[in-house]
Chain A
């Protein structure tokens, strides 16, 4: 059980631990069956009842010695039915029957092969609609149902169900390869996998209060997936970078709201409220990544986060260093977030006028609907004592702010500048945890 609790150090709830084991075994089985049959939907279908049965009985009866064997046994009837159905349609029936036999033999060994990495790469394949990478991963690898996924992404359940079905049909009919890419292919393909996991995390992060039941689990799922990737490809610096990034953000989760429910930006958070266990693990993970000497986007984002955590280590934020990190991000992964982060960091390191100059050099049409841009602009104009312009910027920011607590915080900013270690935006976004 020690192996199982790795990554869930704070979980006292036995049920949740067992659920994690069920999901891991389910994921390994779906991956194995999908990889052999090229049919994700068939594998999920065959294992659906067994999955539910395991969730219901293992907490009560204990986790079986070889979980995959238990699941396969419970799924046997439906798998045989699948084989019969395939037989009447397809020359591939023999593949399916052989797969079932192989799987059963493998479960007599203690180490069922872990093909989840291949399934992750399939879910994030360029031939799959990019919007569906995250939902597919959540369903195929983690066993989340379409309803839960649709709630998290604010899409009607039937729409999400249809899109998932379409994506899986594409995998089967077009015969997307179940392979780990190699050579020059690996970096961009892995980036797509990490992006999809990050999208799940960002979606969960946005739900600051944890009030949205649809999104509550997303953070855990994303962290679980990030850990899985690191476990499955041990020496990939960007995978380590993503895990570190998520851990840093998670370490600050409970600091984002005051006890009264007010929004607290990172600059005003009490480092004592940050989870040392999480950010110290993040430090170690990022250290491993850095030692591999291949910088990348997620490592840079994690490094920015790490710089923001300096108060927890007894120091203060080195804004020049943060500005340099954002320079790197602007160069290799130029997103609006990177540009804004750089402007904010420069404003802290060299004064609001320089930060504002950078802001004004950005392409304006992309920014007009972007709340963090207006929040940063408001703050910089206030610090430059250009209050009329600041008021206009504040108006624009408030209009775009959905979160009531953030709105309140922005409104009370007045002309006082934030303490010098401030994130200048009122939306936590310069800290790179949300999208």
Chain B
């Protein structure tokens, strides 16, 4: 079963990404990513650029497109990245989420990926991917 790990980081932590590769910031992230790959559970994901300077939010209301500078929610901790994992239960997903470096300095949300076969019938493979 797939779970999304949504990574929330405080503003100032985004700046830490400037640190060198083997440093205090990136070291734990590299180890974590390596561990996910080695366990064979990594489905996908990506870090995201800093929210307050690079995010754009779009809504359409009353037929009108509204484009706004900034993230969806202006909070002290921002979505800094996401990871998709394939693991059998929530407990296992929680174990992996707890090992995410952001758990120590920010917050990590675990949410099951929606199983659309419940709606669209068995054999449904999810939304089409590239290609």
Contacts and interface: CB of A to CB of B under 8 A. Distances in A.
Given A127-B90, A174-B90, A177-B89, A90 B118 contact: yes
A91 B122 contact: yes
B94 interface: yes
A89 B88 CA distance: 20
30 contacts: A87-B122, A88-B121, A89-B118, A89-B119, A89-B121, A89-B122, A90-B115, A90-B117, A90-B118, A90-B122, A91-B122, A91-B123, A93-B122, A127-B90, A174-B90, A174-B110, A174-B111, A175-B1, A175-B88, A175-B90, A175-B112, A176-B89, A176-B90, A177-B88, A177-B89, A177-B90, A177-B91, A177-B92, A179-B89, A179-B91
B91 A176 contact: yes
A1 interface: no
Nearest to B119: A89
Interface string A175-189: 111010000000000
Residue among B90, B112, B123 having the largest count of chain A Cβ atoms under 10 Å: B90
Contact of B89 (A87, A89, A173, A175): A175
Most chain A CB within 10 A, of B88, B89, B121, is at: B89
Given A91-B123, A179-B89, 9 more contacts: A87-B122, A89-B121, A91-B117, A174-B90, A175-B88, A175-B89, A175-B90, A176-B89, A177-B88
B92 A173 contact: no
Nearest to B122: A91
Contacts of A175: 1, 88-90, 112
Interface of A: 87-91, 93, 127, 173-177, 179
B71 to A, nearest CB: 26
A127 B109 CA distance: 11
Interface residues of B, number: 17
A179 B119 CA distance: 28
Nearest to B94: A127
The 8 closest A-B pairs by CB, nearest first: A177-B89, A177-B91, A174-B90, A91-B122, A89-B118, A176-B90, A174-B112, A175-B89
A173 B90 CA distance: 9
Nearest to A176: B90
A89 B120 CA distance: 7
B51 to A, nearest CB: 26
Interface string B89-112: 111101000000000000000111
Contacts of B89: 175-177, 179
Contacts of B121: 88-89
A174 B91 CA distance: 9
B115 to A, nearest CB: 8
Contacts of B111: 174
Nearest to A181: B91
Interface string B20-60: 00000000000000000000000000000000000000000
Contacts of B90: 127, 174-177
Nearest to A126: B94
A277 B79 CA distance: 60
Contacts of B122: 87, 89-91, 93
A316 B89 CA distance: 53
Contacts of A87: 122
A89 B117 CA distance: 6
B57 to A, nearest CB: 27
Contacts of A88: 121
A87 B117 CA distance: 11
A186 to B, nearest CB: 13
A60 B38 CA distance: 61
Nearest to A87: B122
Contacts of A179: 89, 91
Contacts of B112: 173-175
Nearest to B114: A173
Contacts of B119: 89
Nearest to A88: B121
A175 to B, nearest CB: 5
A319 B7 CA distance: 52
